Structure 1
């Protein structure tokens, strides 16, 4: 892991923040800490951390609201949200706000590290300049951007990873387990509906304004991105 990989921790609990800073620094990350969400957008825009570890419940800020503000400002920094709230609705709220993953307190450092590494793997390989073209959908792998009928799609990093995975396996039905492993990098709670949530996001952004629908649900099996001959 590059020692220059930057992580910003936003955590009001000083013991947790110090624990994470020491542990992640020992793993070779460049770690900075803030205990509140004041001027978070400006700081992320200025420092461009690779990943943000964001506490959901801050003294004067709501992590969900902060995450929405980040995405609304066009900042696609990976976000791992920490929270003491562990209901499924709480997790869905965090993911819908734009978080890329959600970890419930208390947690082990090993689990956090594994999830963090999985998130960073999504952005670590830019590859050669190339694109995937399916009907009027174009995915530019060199700049990590997607276009439909040459109009840019506003995708989060997770949405882009999901779309790329489906496109790389066009016309093949991918199970939710295969999608979880490929996009999130580890096994989620089997009861989670994170795949369904993000498929819904993609459908709205990729298909809602077009007559040809590319992303389909194959009931009982999974999801598929169909090429023109199959669409």
Structure 2
């Protein structure tokens, strides 16, 4: 998954690049609006983290140019502008989400995950393999030794979230946001019920789902 960061703060840009790279994203970045516009119009990226106040070309102009060119990319505005009208303008101009500074990196990460599951995106690495399991992101299927596990949409989303974020523990709250989106929620017992039913389906095939529980923290993928 390729991400472009257009942010004029050198320290923030560096921090975001390191954090997202550690999570498995391929990240390019720039602090200049004109250069950022040229990069995003190349169509090589699936996600864009966009500041509004930029040198050369401002973020709003970049956003409008992206939508006019019909570039298939999800845009998260990351801005210090926190007024309601600023958020409304950003969303109406074509942003998919709006996060104000200061912010939590974990929240930024979850919002990016939510954007990844909206509509069609050009995901180059469409399959994730863990042991006997293959997750096909394009087809929205989990195969166990080449057998389709027939997961429900919510079961699949939980597996997708954890499979694509190996090495990271997700709390019930974060999984809830991944399933339902930023403004809704799924109860903790519903998360556990979806995971339980998924485990049973996998067990019926003679295998064990590699999703484990870290008591008091959440869920993670166990790799051997």
Q: Scaled by the length of structure 1, what TM-score is found?
A: 0.52
Compared CA separation, residues 45 and 69, structure 1 to 2 (3 A): closer
> CA offsets, 1:141-179, max 9 Å, x none?
xxxxxxxxxxxxxxxxxxxxxxxxxxxxxxxxxxxxxxx
Number of the residue aligned with 2:6: 10
Number of the residue aligned with 1:83: 79
User: Could you tell me how far 1:40 is from its partner in structure 2?
Assistant: 3.5
Q: How does 1:1-231 map to 2 (within 5 A)?
A: 5-122=1-118, 123=120, 125-127=137-139, 185-187=181-183
User: Could you tell me how far 1:183 is from its partner in structure 2?
Assistant: 9.4
User: Could you tell me how far 1:59 is from its partner in structure 2?
Assistant: 2.3
User: Could you tell me how far 1:127 is from its partner in structure 2?
Assistant: 3.8
Match of 1:93, SS? helix
The root-mean-square deviation of aligned C-alpha atoms, in Å, is 2.2
User: Could you tell me how far 1:186 is from its partner in structure 2?
Assistant: 2.0
> CA offsets, 1:86-144, max 9 Å, x none?
1110001001110000000000100100101100122365449xxxxxxxxxxxxxxxx
Distance in 2 separating the partners of 1:68 and 1:83: 16
Compared CA separation, residues 69 and 45, structure 1 to 2 (3 A): closer
| Runs of 4+ more than 6 Å apart | 181-184
Distance in 2 separating the partners of 1:48 and 1:100: 18
User: Could you tell me how far 1:7 is from its partner in structure 2?
Assistant: 0.2
Compared CA separation, residues 90 and 12, structure 1 to 2 (3 A): same
Number of the residue aligned with 1:227: none
* C-alpha contact (below 8 Å) 1:21/1:33 kept by paired residues: yes
User: Could you tell me how far 1:38 is from its partner in structure 2?
Assistant: 1.2
Match of 1:38, SS? helix
Compared CA separation, residues 182 and 29, structure 1 to 2 (3 A): closer
